Structure 1
Amino acid sequence: MNILQALFFPPEQPGGVSSMIPYIQERFNKLGWPMELFSLPKRVRGKGHEELLFQTFDVSEFAGNPIIDKYLQTFRDYIWWTKLRMGKSYDLIHAHHPIPALVMKQLYPDTPLVMTIHSSYERELILNAKISEGGQEHRFLTSLYGELEAKCDRILTVSNSFLHYMSPYLQQPQAVAVIPNGFDEKRFKPISHENEVIQFITVCRLVPAKGLDVLLHACAELKRRGHAFVLHIIGDGPIRTELEQLAISLDLYDEIIFYGYMLHPEEFMPFFDIFVLPSRAEAFGSVFAEAALCWLALVGTDVGGISEQIDDGVNGLLVPPENAAALCDALETLVTDPTYRYNLARAAWNKAKKAYSLSRVISQLKQVYSEFQAASPTKE
């Protein structure tokens, strides 16, 4: 059974999908299930002019909106690139973004299509102040859920909380299966170490949705309470300068290191003590599972997939979003109690190994793919 994993971003890009799909490909190839990856290079811009076919809504009502027009142009570019580069057919296509999913079904209507919806693009854009809730862009993006439901042969998502979020936009949400992300344990190598000063680490794209402004205010309060620490921020994004200026204004210049983008942060994480990320929304939050596999204590917000990964007080600490005081209290608890911190980290590692193993994902995907194995054989 020849399978295509259709991505939007190239697999070397940061993020949960990119950190998982190449390892899924490797495992399936070893099992004798040929699998290839396909994505749109960043350099492809403004090439496509093909007609876009939507079944469940009239796309013309959104014409002239610059954000939607840019999205639709990317859709056309993906069609152009697929026609140019796809030289064979497949028994099944598994897409990981709405654009490749809808493009593949438009170009290969007879090929079974599985779609994993990994995150809510519209919610992230709202939190990042790019679009307004209820506005034209929001309505367009949420319309895509119904379009995907109409055209995909199977829809998957990564957490129960995100399935709940999507449900109002679907006709049959009960048909959606939840397969949480999984990670190759061989990538993660916990290291025994003793840091004289507690080391915090966070890994994310530097955008408002990740709540790093809340983290900096929590750290400023922690410093006022007399605790020594260093916060390591791995990632880049449009608000980096703003965050650096906020750190200076909060008198945190000596406590924070901004690293910028790093391709394999999991190689760096085991040397730290506490992973913290006060996101305002997360469909899954892959970086929490990755930090747990590095044997770090976890602190996150009680939102989305984070609250499904962290059992508060058992394998990490959960705090309300937008609450710097509560976040400071949680960090202070772990800073002042190394035994508790170690026990939380160990429990997080145990849960991540069991619940978020790549082997579990492979088994679940094999079951999904096998439902379509009776499809016609691949034609070269």
Structure 2
Amino acid sequence: MNLLQALFFPPEQPGGVSSMIPYLQERFRSSRWEMDLFWLPKRIRNKGREEIEFETFDWTVYGESPVVQKYIQTYRDYLWWTKLRMSKSYDLIHAHHPIAGLAMKKVFPDVPLIQSLHSSYERELILNGVIAEGGLEHRFLVSLYRELEQVSDRLMTVSRSFAEYMSAYTANPERIGVIPNGFDEKRFKPVPHDNGVPQLVTVTRLVPAKGLDTLFKACAELKSRGYEYVLHIIGDGPSRAELENLAQALGIYNETIFYGYTLHPEEFMPFFDIFVLPSRAEAFGSVFAEAALSCLALVGTNVGGIPEQIEDGVNGLLVKPDDEVALADALEKVISDPAYRYELSRSAWDKAKSLYSLTRVANELKKTYLQVQQEAKS
């Protein structure tokens, strides 16, 4: 079977899709399977001129919004690039972004399309203060779920929580499939180490939706309780300067290290002790699975797909979002008790190896691809 994995961002872009899709090629390399990747290069801007129409709603109702206009233009650009560069025929296309799926179905209407949704763009924009809940942009973006359902042969996502979220915007929510992201076990190698001072780490985009302001306040509380630690911030984003100022104001700047964007954080993640990310929204939270495979203790929030990975008190700790005292209490538990921290990290590693291995996910995808291809023929 000739497969196309249609991405939006280049494979080196940080995130759950890039943690999985490029590594799938090796698992599909055989006489039965052939897989290509396709994405929109960053340099392609304002090339598309095609008129855009959707089957299930009129996007022009929301067209006065600059956010919607930019989204539509990006869709035009993806269409332009696809028509320019794609000539090979495929038996099945698996898209991992709404724009990628919509463009592929328009260019290749007779090829079966699986559409996977990995995150909620509208929720992130709302939490980051870019758009208002219930506004033009929000209504436009949630309308896309029904459109994707209409044009896809199979609509899928990465967690039960996100499938439930999507159900409010689709006609047949019971048909939404769930396959979590998978991770190449060979990339994650736990390393025995003994840090005299507990090392906390987070890997994330620096935006309000990730709750790093709550983390900093929790760390300030830990410091006031007399605990030593070092907090490592791996990632970059528009909130970096604001977060650096907050660390200064809270008196924790000396305990906090900002690394900026790092291409392969899994190479040195095993040398830390505790992974913490108090997200305000998370469709799946791939970094938790990556941290678990690195054998770190996990501390997260009970939102989105995170509770599907973390069973509180068994393989990590969960707290409510925006609760810095509860987060400080959870961190205190794993900082003050190395034996408990080790117990949590081992349980997290066992679960991640069992449920989120790339081999297991690749086998599930192969079954799905064969099913969809057979359904399309019948």
| Alignment-mate amino acid for residue 275 of structure 1 | F
Equivalents in 2 of 1:155, 1:209: separation in Å? 25
Equivalents in 2 of 1:256, 1:132: separation in Å? 32
* 1:89 positional shift: 1.3
Residues 334-353 of structure 1: matches in 2 within 5 Å?
334-353=334-353
- Per the alignment, residue 26 of structure 1 pairs with 26
Is 1:157 aligned with 2:157?
A: yes
- Per the alignment, residue 317 of structure 1 pairs with 317
- Per the alignment, residue 40 of structure 1 pairs with 40
* 1:53 positional shift: 2.4
- Per the alignment, residue 213 of structure 2 pairs with 213
- Per the alignment, residue 89 of structure 2 pairs with 89
* 1:32 positional shift: 3.7
Larger CA deviation: 366-375 vs 74-83: 366-375
Equivalents in 1 of 2:293, 2:300: separation in Å? 16
- CA displacement 1:14-66 (0-9 Å, x = unmatched): 00101100111221124641000000001000000012120000112122211
Equivalents in 2 of 1:336, 1:124: separation in Å? 34
- CA displacement 1:128-168 (0-9 Å, x = unmatched): 00000000000000000000010000011100000111101
- SS of aligned partner of 2:232: strand
- Per the alignment, residue 241 of structure 2 pairs with 241
User: So what's the TM-score if we normalise by structure 1?
Assistant: 0.98
After the TM superposition, which parts of structure 1 deviate over 4 Å for at least 4 consecutive aligned residues?
A: 374-377
Is 1:281 aligned with 2:289?
A: no
- Per the alignment, residue 266 of structure 2 pairs with 266
- Per the alignment, residue 362 of structure 1 pairs with 362
Equivalents in 1 of 2:31, 2:279: separation in Å? 37
- CA displacement 1:287-346 (0-9 Å, x = unmatched): 000000000000000011111100000000000111000000000011110000000000
List runs of 5+ in structure 1 lacking aligned partners. none
| Alignment-mate amino acid for residue 334 of structure 2 | L
Equivalents in 1 of 2:60, 2:279: separation in Å? 35
Larger CA deviation: 309-318 vs 27-36: 27-36
Residues 127-142 of structure 1: matches in 2 within 5 Å?
127-142=127-142
- SS of aligned partner of 1:29: coil
Equivalents in 2 of 1:248, 1:273: separation in Å? 24
* 1:374 positional shift: 4.6
Equivalents in 1 of 2:276, 2:376: separation in Å? 48
- Contact conserved, 1:53 with 1:106, CA < 8 A, in 2? no
Equivalents in 2 of 1:376, 1:350: separation in Å? 38
Larger CA deviation: 22-31 vs 95-104: 22-31
| Alignment-mate amino acid for residue 164 of structure 2 | H
- Per the alignment, residue 225 of structure 1 pairs with 225
List runs of 5+ in structure 2 lacking aligned partners. none
- Contact conserved, 2:112 with 2:373, CA < 8 A, in 1? no
- Per the alignment, residue 11 of structure 1 pairs with 11
| Alignment-mate amino acid for residue 126 of structure 1 | I
1:334–1:326 distance in 2 versus 1, CA, 3 Å:
same
* 1:371 positional shift: 1.6
- CA displacement 1:358-378 (0-9 Å, x = unmatched): 11111111111102445899x
- Per the alignment, residue 177 of structure 2 pairs with 177
Equivalents in 1 of 2:20, 2:171: separation in Å? 29
- Per the alignment, residue 303 of structure 1 pairs with 303
- Contact conserved, 1:91 with 1:376, CA < 8 A, in 2? no
Equivalents in 1 of 2:373, 2:103: separation in Å? 22
| Alignment-mate amino acid for residue 181 of structure 2 | N
- SS of aligned partner of 2:94: strand
Alignment length, in residue pairs?
377
Equivalents in 2 of 1:321, 1:68: separation in Å? 29
| Alignment-mate amino acid for residue 319 of structure 1 | V
- Contact conserved, 1:118 with 1:284, CA < 8 A, in 2? yes
* 1:219 positional shift: 0.0
- Per the alignment, residue 100 of structure 1 pairs with 100
1:349–1:50 distance in 2 versus 1, CA, 3 Å:
same
Equivalents in 2 of 1:203, 1:373: separation in Å? 37
- SS of aligned partner of 2:29: helix
Equivalents in 2 of 1:375, 1:309: separation in Å? 32
- Per the alignment, residue 200 of structure 1 pairs with 200
Equivalents in 2 of 1:60, 1:233: separation in Å? 41
- Per the alignment, residue 167 of structure 2 pairs with 167
User: So what's the TM-score if we normalise by structure 2?
Assistant: 0.98
- SS of aligned partner of 2:28: helix
- Per the alignment, residue 2 of structure 1 pairs with 2
1:145–1:195 distance in 2 versus 1, CA, 3 Å:
same
- Contact conserved, 1:199 with 1:273, CA < 8 A, in 2? yes
- Contact conserved, 1:158 with 1:284, CA < 8 A, in 2? yes
Is 1:50 aligned with 2:50?
A: yes
Equivalents in 1 of 2:361, 2:144: separation in Å? 26
- CA displacement 1:174-214 (0-9 Å, x = unmatched): 00111011111000010000001110000000000000000
- Contact conserved, 2:112 with 2:376, CA < 8 A, in 1? no
Equivalents in 2 of 1:72, 1:258: separation in Å? 35
- Per the alignment, residue 63 of structure 2 pairs with 63
